[in-house]
Structure 1
């Protein structure tokens, strides 16, 4: 039974320090990959990291507050060049001043009017457009409309901060609405600077170059040095080219491709065994590609054979099979040598073993000839005469077959002897056979019919055999592969309970 590669015992590096270094680089590359994923998703998910609220159903008011997560936006916003937006930050500061005044019992009419004016300006100017969060402004407008039960968001803000509304509603209840429904959405807005190339600021590459890519470069050079020490004739350029899979670790773009070298390092360092997962993923793909490739090759071979057979030069191609026109690689005439080997085999062993069958066929042929030529129709009713005729034909057939078998054995024994004259005669015989066959096809009426029949046979092979491959499918190949690679279950491999249960039942 073939054992899968992941069941084989892995060899530990003889250099323990080098092995520890490989494990460290694998873990460091894994951490870098996780950080790359976080960096790529930070800007789209900045609202989540700012509020730490998860909305499982966006259309429903269900909120999962993840307050145990730290607020990392003050630390990571500078990496992405993100700063608080001036308009929305001024809006939040103005609301804070108005809130303190209302909590102190002051009417704060000017502050409320200013807040209403800033709300109108925010709706008109849409400062969320720069950060690509225009939908946030629509959420704010919808919540203002629902709270005031009006169709206009501007009028709703004016009503909610008006004297009549605040006389009916306490400010403690109203500030809860503003602080939970409106201000968190306003706080999600930001402004992102751009660099000299006109692209959004991103200083991730600085940290990546200093902490990670420098380590990756040292590891790549170390691996190239190991390879050159194992293969002294290998140049530095060829050694680095053999580590082409490590290129994503040094690229400042398409950082998600680092998944490939990270997985390779985790596998080679022995921290994670990826072979079962790789086998499962690639098994079906490889089987499918193998079937498709075999179908294409078989179809191309059959089409090429049909083209050769349909060609008017088919007799000439047959004539080229003569021994003196074939390409000889090792000065040995393969067809002649094959005839010299198979001739004795057929004449000395296969032919004599078929003597009873040959006698029966020849006796039947002789009996039919005697009945139609020698015995008159009126005497065919005599049983004695028919019995004599049958015995006579059997004796004649046995004599002829024995003579032929004796001649065959003699010829086979002579063919087994090494004789240059014999080899020349065999070569002449084979050449004469191809010449006569080509001559018969050229001047006889069978060429066109033979071409049609052989091409039709190949067409049937294409329709039946290749179709059978498709009907067999990939599942049968995968099942056969499982039988070859998956070892049989043994009592010591986790089936002890099943074995014990079966033994209890047998008792």
Structure 2
């Protein structure tokens, strides 16, 4: 793709202090962008940050632990107004007490009350669905499915009572059962949470305070400093114009649509020479041009051809042609334009250009005379030198006449100027009169419009067939820099 001229322009080198400041702010803006992306995705990915594991196939119980990642939920839950859900916390605590009792050697009769308590909490969780408040109703379905598969029962409530009943615990040891509960059920239960709402009825979100204190204040200061530097460089620039020139920094100060900060952050990182976005810019520019160029070319071509056809169909052509006469011109200066052009070009063409064409004109006329003599009986016997001599005499006579005419046109002669102007006016008058006779104008308009219509159809059809990608490839070939190692092509001897 062609590199824009404003990207190739040499920038004014700033002082070392300003360069360090710009780089520091660009890096700080990059950190802010990462934090913004983390904040936007925190609620949908809270389960991942809580459990820190991956499940590549949701239908297969395959878990990839990521224990190296820190647990950020205790730090970031208060920012989002997230608190543990009371029902699920009671469920986790009840299982913890039951687990401790069974591990300490409690008899089935001693742990029966605790098991009945956990079964009751399971039924209450299924009935009330505490996961709906956080938008994770599918988690409850996962818990129910795992209970059904474990117990082989179609009812999740009966499956929970069966898994915590005496017959089941007699057949299976608690070590095996607690592994199922701790790996398959409790991690899902722990993902439930409760999120408070503010006075406006929206979910609590304190991220704006962090953003304002740590980032937006720095961005506002940097924008102000950039405006001051711009006004020092251009003293006549107003504050408003200086602010408008930094319009790309506006998303950095907006408390909403924070994802739009990717544009000013990339611009600052590129300006600070920390990243190179030129290949990406070229690819995006090529894609945009490829999408819009064909439609734009078609619209412009149609508008140009349609405008020309409308102009040709006008019935005012004779009047327009007559208005070109000298006595109907708009101003006195316009009257002499065509006459001055003829006075300039006439001597140049007749006195300088035409005499230099003498050899070519002699050869052309000699060949034409030789071909003409061959058609005459006995003309084949005429030597070729005769035709060349005859052509040379004719050309010399014409060139002498051309030189004489050029000399006379170069002279300042009022009578000559008047005659030329009269001849031009007569030409326009006769042309307008000829167009008014016997439908000449109408027929000419029909033919010209049909020609333009055919041209329009052929041009658009050719563009649709060829496609814009071929044009873009040709543009890349024309604008690609020539390699220094490639030797220049030598012209043939």
Work out whether residues 4 and 485 of structure 1, in 8 Å CA contact, stay in contact via their aligned partners in 2.
no
Deviates more, 1:335-344 or 1:391-400: 391-400
The 5 Å alignment of 1:351-500 reads: 353=358, 354=361, 357-358=364-365, 383=378, 403-419=397-413, 421-470=415-464, 471=466, 473-488=468-483, 490=485
Question: Can you give the 5+ residue segments of structure 1 that lack an aligned partner in the other structure?
Answer: 372-379, 492-507
Query: Are 2:54 and 1:51 aligned?
Result: no
Assess, with a 3 A threshold, how the Cα gap between structure 1 residues 221 and 324 changes in structure 2: closer, same or farther. farther
Q: Count residues in correspondence.
A: 477
Deviation at 1:326, TM superposition (A): 5.8
| 2:122 alignment counterpart | 119
> SS state of the match for residue 197, structure 1?
coil
Residues 489 and 393 (structure 1), Cα distance of their counterparts in 2 relative to 1, 3 Å cut: closer
Deviation of the 1:434 alpha carbon: 1.9
State TM-score, norm by structure 1.
0.84
Q: Quick check: 1:3–1:486 contact (8 Å CA) kept in 2?
A: no
Q: In the alignment, which residue of structure 2 is the partner of 1:62? A: 62
Q: Does 1:264 align with 2:267?
A: yes
- Helix, strand or coil at the partner of 1:79: helix
Match of 2:491 in 1: none
Counterpart check, 1:178 vs 2:171: no
Q: Which residue of 1 aligns with 2:490?
A: none
- The Cα of 1:341 is off from its aligned counterpart by 3.2
Q: 1:327-342 residue pairs with structure 2 within 5 A? A: 333-342=336-345
Provide the C-alpha distance between the structure 1 equivalents of 2:389 and 2:15, rounded to a whole number of angstroms.
Answer: 86
Per-residue deviation, residues 424-482 of structure 1 (Å, max 9, x unmatched): 44333333222211111012442222112222222233233444444263334334334
**TM-score using structure 2 length:** 0.87
Residue 83 of structure 1 aligns to a residue whose secondary structure is strand
Tell me, yes or no, if structure 1 residue 276 matches structure 2 residue 270: no
2:200 is aligned to 197
Question: What is the CA–CA distance in structure 2 between the aligned matches of 1:76 and 1:365, rounded to whole Å?
Answer: 101
Whether contact under 8 Å (2:354, 2:399) holds in the other structure is no
**Structure 1 residue 228: Cα displacement:** 0.6
Cα deviations across residues 321-374 of structure 1 (Å, max 9, x unaligned)? 445656679868543333333333443433864355457668988998xx8xxx
1:65 CA drift (Å): 0.6
What are the equivalent positions in structure 2 for 1:210-249 lying under 5 Å apart?
210-249=213-252
Shift of 1:32: 0.3
Q: Which consecutive unaligned segments of at least 5 residues does structure 2 have?
A: 487-493
Residues 88 and 192 in structure 2, CA contact (< 8 A), matched pair in contact too = yes
SS in structure 2 of the partner of residue 191 of structure 1 = strand
Q: Is the 8 A contact 2:216 2:253 kept in 1?
A: yes
CA contact (8 A) 2:144 2:156 kept: yes
Distance 1:315 1:430 in 2: 15
1:269 Cα shift?
1.2
